[in-house]
Amino acid sequence: MTGENASALVSDASYTQARLYFLDELARRAGVYTVARALDLTGDLDPVALDAAVRGCVRRHESLRTCFRVLDGRLRQIVTGHEPALRVVDLRSLLARDAMADGEALVAELARQEAAEPFDLRRVPLLRTTLIRLTDHHCVLLVTLHHIVADAWSLDLFLREVSALYRARVAGTPDGLPELALQYADFAAWQQRTEAAGGHDRLLAHWRERVRELPELRLPTDQPRPKEPSYQGRSHPVRLDDEVTAALRVLCREEGASLYMALLAAFYVVLHRYSGQDDLVVGGTTSGRARPEVEHMIGFFVNMLVLRTPVRAEHTLREVLRATADTCHDAYDHQELPFERLVAVQGGARQADRHPLFQVVFQMLDESDGDLSVPGLRIRMREQTATVATFDLVCTVANTAGRLSATLDYATDLWAPDTVAALGHAWQSALRELAGRPDRAVRDVPLAQEHAYAPGALPDEVRRAPVLANLPPDAVLSVRDRHGHPAPRGAVGELVRRDRRDVPWAPTGLMVRAAADGRLRAASAADEAPVPESESGQGAHAAPVGPVERELAALWEELLGVAGVGRHDNFFLVGGHSLLATVLITRAQERYGTDVTLEEFFRDPTPAGLAEVIAAAAGAAGADAEAGELAALVDALERQEDHA
């Protein structure tokens, strides 16, 4: 720590911070877990007052002056006195000189770079503010924070407070912001006290029962799931019709449900039809701010919920809505259990290519209208699209002053744009049916229009099937789901054929899927099946071999409180969880002086596997050291020659 941080306050991190620290380490600080906004500022801006307003907000909230370290086997948050300065990028001269320069393109690229630039969680600041000056009266403010210190609610709060502080500065009036009785570290300490006093025991028992024999949602994908995610993502907007929304509000009042529950119920119908599963699991989110003391506090409070709902073909849409409402009400009644505690006690092998418990998230966010204007300065939020994906699929509904909009953020490792667009259309269809015909059976809900395929769209392995041996070249093909409806692009269905326009569709018995490029392929090649998880993770016990494996096995035993760890024992199947994995890797880095990563550990989380990674890292470090010594020697000889 630097001299200015000599009096830093050290305290336990919250459970949500511990989860983000682990995920950030797993992603290798690739700028995945950042929260970013871009704002247009039009008018007479005072940059000095803006810098003062940012610093004032940072002084109010300790979370904005916090970094993190693993100390004594626990993740600690370290509150410093650091106040990040406003960075200014002045493009006025460039744009005035070069008529060909594209100011909007420059802003877009700078915004992309800012959002993608990783933070080092061990150092402050975890907040960046950049002011781009385009003209004397037009600027763009980029605000980027790491998710570990701020959620979406917090970012909106930050912008409102900076606006209030700026207004007070330029007008010479009080800012009117409420005094903060507590800081985020107080919230984290309360969490720890609650856990120590057994306050989570009843909640844990409830949630463990809810996730017993939890299925994994199996959605067909365009590409097989990679062993290591790239975290690359894209967004697809989904229009939510105002008339449909109004009808859904009426239905929700009749059923005692919220609008969120109706939107989720229709989404469940789509997932049921795409996956063929009757037991559906998605992740939900809560603000984590049920207590009024934290309402005006900047920090990471969002908690995740497991939303598990039965959906069967014979259910009516109204019954699905009721089941969804029951699921949500139950989850809200037990929402104070930190999601990380459930993951820790649930156990099971952890895999680097997927989250525990669910891969699809459905959430609804209340957003302001984006107008933060102050006298003499108009401030408006800029539209931004997702470029990263932390889950397979995230459906976000934004409620802005009663108007709804939605986006599907998806992993480009798995899906192509056309596939996600078709899923969005299917959700729109399910919403219309729920609003207009809620007593219709799930099996009878049409999700897509008929799409005709020419025989040329067939892959060779399907074309060679005996049932297609006499297929005329001008025949028409289509894909139907198990209920006889046209299957949306991306869903698996049965290939049906019609040899002439005047004959009915005939089944072929062949299961296919329409790919994003419009071609058909055999369903077995497109189905995304979950990776089987070993029940034990170990075969016969094998004693550690060599000093490093023995030291690692002893560390396993110390951290997990178990005895007799073998060289092939899976860390996560003998009691390990995400934070303990972080502690383990930190200890290994300190003990062996090598840059071992969580990503490498996940490939083989055993003493033997970690020992092999450490040996490889040590060898690479030795080679780098030798190369560095050689380079230094060459450099010294060249300097001698220069002076000869």
pLDDT in tens, 531-587: 444 444 455 678 888 888 888 888 888 888 888 888 888 888 888 877 788 888 888
Helices H, strands E: what count in the chain?
18, 18
Q: How far is CA 607 from CA 28, 183, 320, 555, 588, in A?
A: 22, 40, 47, 9, 11
Q: What dihedral angle (degrees, nearest 10) is formed by the CA atoms of 38, 42, 46, 48? A: 10
User: What pLDDT is recorded for position 630?
Assistant: 40
DSSP 368: -
**Residue 81 to residue 4: CA distance in whole angstroms:** 7
Cα separation, 413 vs 231, whole angstroms: 8
Encode pLDDT of 340-379 as tens digits.
Answer: 999 988 876 677 778 889 999 999 998 776 678 888 899 9
* Tokens standing for residue 626: 């030798």
How many other β-carbons are positioned within 10 Å of the β-carbon of residue 428? 19
Residue 495 CA, chain-centre distance (Å), reads 35
Counting Cα atoms < 13 Å in the Cβ hemisphere of 447 gives 32
On whether the CB atoms of residues 77 and 136 are closer than 8 A, the answer is: no
Separation between Cα atoms, residue 83 and residue 217, nearest integer Å: 45
CA-to-CA separations, 79 to 33, 63, 244, in angstroms, rounded:
20, 7, 48
Predicted local distance difference test score (pLDDT) of residue 6: 47
159, 169, 305, 426, 437 from 432: Cα distances, Å: 37, 50, 27, 10, 8
Q: Looking at residue 96, what is its pLDDT?
A: 85
- Alpha-carbon gap, residue 530 to 221, rounded angstroms: 12
* pTM higher than 0.85: yes
The confidence score (pLDDT) of residue 1 equals 39
Q: Which two structure tokens, joined as six digits, stand for 298?
A: 């900047």
Which strand ranges, in their side-by-side order, compose the sheet holding 506-514? Answer: 476-480, 492-498, 506-514, 520-522
Residue 453 three-state SS? strand
Cβ atoms within 10 Å of 638's Cβ, excluding its own? 10
CA pair distance 575, 345, nearest whole angstrom: 8
How far from 269 is each of 182, 309, 444, CA to CA, in Å? Answer: 43, 11, 11
**DSSP 3-state assignment of 284?**
strand
Contact between 323 and 442 under an 8 Å Cβ cutoff? The reply is no
Task: From 132, 116, 17, 102, select the one nearest 67 (Cα to Cα).
Answer: 17
C-alpha–C-alpha distance, residues 386 and 368, integer Å? 19
SS (H, E, C) 384-436: CCCCECCCCEEEEEEEECCEEEEEEEEECCCCCHHHHHHHHHHHHHHHHHHHH
Q: How high is the pLDDT of residue 627?
A: 45
- CA 321-325-329 angle, 5° bins: 175
CA angle 232, 238, 240 (to 5 degrees): 155
Determine the pLDDT at residue 7.
62
DSSP designation for 354:
S
DSSP state of 149: T
- What is the 3-class SS of 9-58, one letter each residue? EEEECCHHHHHHHHHHHHCCCCCCCEEEEEEEEEECCCHHHHHHHHHHHH
| Below-70 pLDDT ranges, the chain | 1-7, 29, 348-349, 369-370, 524-540, 619-644
| DSSP labels, 456-522 | GGS-HHHHTSGGGTT--TT-EEEEE-TTSSBPPTTSEEEEEEESSTTS--EEEEEEEEE-TTS-EEE
- DSSP assignment of 80-135 equals ----PPPEEEE-HHHHHH-TT--HHHHHHHHHHHHHHSPP-TTSS--EEEEEEEEE
